[in-house]
A = this chain, B = another copy of it.
């Protein structure tokens, strides 16, 4: 990531939630989202899986890391969730012990309309065989 400018732009409470929620982890502001960075973050099958799953069940507010049932070591998951957060795709909040994630759908729809629909419609391996 080469030390992203996670510090200069707007960082803390992007939505200023109802104060019931824990603060969001540092993330790029909506106007700092870059298409090439977001696309790069989404160009990984595992991350695409994460975002799609999050999109499909966005009824529940946030989801902890274990909810995804990805059988990768924890350090790998941290890596990918961080990549998604730093690209601006996910917002993460610390709920006590667990860190829950949700897609920044409003921001992404505002900046890149239609992009999340593509992700939601994505299917991993298209059973052609």
Q: Are A42 and B48 in contact (CB under 8 A)?
A: no
Answer whether residue A122 sits at the interface, using C-beta atoms and an 8 A cutoff. yes
Question: How many of these chains are in the complex?
Answer: 2
| Chain A contact patch, size range | 20 to 34
A114-B115, A114-B117, A115-B114 known; A36-B45 Cβ under 8 A: yes
A43 contacts B39, C-beta separation under 8 Å: yes
Least CB distance from A113 to B in Å reads 7
A-B contact pairs, 16 of them (CB 8 A): A31-B128, A32-B128, A35-B119, A36-B42, A36-B44, A36-B45, A36-B48, A36-B122, A39-B39, A40-B43, A43-B43, A112-B118, A113-B117, A114-B118, A115-B115, A115-B118
